[in-house]
């Protein structure tokens, strides 16, 4: 499941931050992420602007951590490290980890019918690691020939990393005699497509608002069915929630 993978990333990043701290290299991390030049300014709503703001928050947290380390105050050190992780992972304005949406809120984006297929099951959950939250809602849609799993995942815990990926991520495409795999950006959304005609199985996912991953995967008559299912969801409504829990 996507939630399990994301939580493993979070734990790995926290361990990495602790390792950097122990080595005394935390101080320059924030500056390297975007706080390096006062002569360069970006639109605060652009991906590079978000990255620069993240760097400034990380740099401030790093300085606070160094001061706490000098004083020997373990509690203050832990607070500063938490603030840095919050800045890196997309925390709220006070540096604390952002809260993911309630599972029922995500479940509301999975209607009873999608592109002609009826929903046969639905579930949702919210998990956390190191205080970072990830919420997910999933549903299965099927008829006699097709079966598709649709997942909506709130990745607010990786918001900062999503901004970085959006700023520097590239595009890719590969094709075989029986299928293809593509990653590209369209209308500001990162899209991933995968299709195997031999098994009639595929995957179509969209990153909404640099926060929500919407994915449809399974066995269908044609790849367009997966795109139609995701396209018929209320992605605009989901995008309007991209700042929820980060105030």
pLDDT of 39 reads 56
Average pLDDT, the chain: 78
More confident residue, 21 or 190: 190
Q: Rounded distance, CA 75 to CA 55, Å?
A: 23
Phi, psi dihedral angles at 141 (to 5 degrees): -120, 135
Cβ atoms within 10 A of the Cβ of 41, count?
A: 10
pLDDT digit string, tens, across residues 58-67: 677 677 767 7
Which residues lie across from 117 on neighbouring strands? 114
More confident residue, 77 or 233: 233
Q: Rounded distance, CA 142 to CA 69, Å?
A: 57
Q: What is the mean pLDDT of residues 222-231?
A: 97
Q: Which residue has the tokens 């592109």?
A: 115
Q: What is the mean pLDDT of residues 119-131?
A: 87
pLDDT of 9 reads 46
Tell me what percent of the residues of the chain surpass a pLDDT of 90: 44
Cα–chain-centroid distance for residue 107?
A: 17
Q: What is the mean pLDDT of residues 213-225?
A: 97
pLDDT digit string, tens, across residues 132-145: 788 999 999 999 99
Residue 129: pLDDT over 60: yes
| The overall pTM is greater than 0.85 | no
pLDDT digit string, tens, across residues 36-49: 445 566 565 555 56
pLDDT digit string, tens, across residues 66-118: 777 777 777 776 666 666 666 555 555 555 667 899 999 999 999 999 999 99
Confidence of residue 188 (pLDDT cuts 50, 70, 90): confident
pLDDT of 94 reads 54
pLDDT of 80 reads 64
pLDDT of 79 reads 67
pLDDT digit string, tens, across residues 139-170: 999 999 999 999 999 988 776 555 555 555 57
Relative orientation angle of helices 159-168 and 74-89, to the nearest 10 degrees? 50
pLDDT of 11 reads 47
């Amino acid at each position: 499941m996507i939630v399990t993978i994301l939580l493993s990333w979070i734990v790995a990043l926290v361990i990495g931050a602790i390792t950097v701290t122990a080595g005394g290299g935390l101080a320059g991390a924030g500056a390297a992420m975007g706080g390096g030049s006062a002569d360069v300014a970006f639109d605060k709503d652009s991906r590079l602007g978000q990255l620069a703001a993240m760097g400034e928050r990380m740099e401030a947290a790093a300085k606070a951590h160094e001061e706490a380390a000098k004083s020997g105050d373990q509690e203050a050190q832990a607070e500063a490290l938490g603030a840095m992780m919050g800045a890196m992972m997309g925390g709220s304005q006070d540096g604390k980890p952002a809260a993911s949406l309630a599972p029922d809120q995500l479940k509301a984006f999975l209607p009873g019918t999608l592109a002609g297929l009826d929903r046969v099951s639905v579930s949702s959950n919210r998990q956390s690691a190191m205080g970072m939250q990830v919420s997910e809602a999933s549903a299965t849609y099927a008829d006699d020939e097709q079966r598709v799993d649709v997942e909506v995942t709130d990745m607010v815990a990786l918001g900062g990393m999503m901004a970085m990926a959006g700023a520097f991520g590239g595009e890719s495409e590969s094709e075989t005699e029986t299928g293809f795999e593509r990653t590209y950006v369209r209308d500001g959304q990162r899209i991933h497509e995968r299709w195997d005609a031999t098994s009639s199985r595929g995957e179509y996912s969209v990153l909404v608002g640099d926060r929500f991953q919407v994915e449809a995967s399974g066995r269908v008559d044609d790849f367009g069915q997966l795109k139609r299912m995701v396209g018929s969801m209320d992605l605009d409504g989901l995008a309007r929630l991209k700042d929820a829990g980060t105030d």
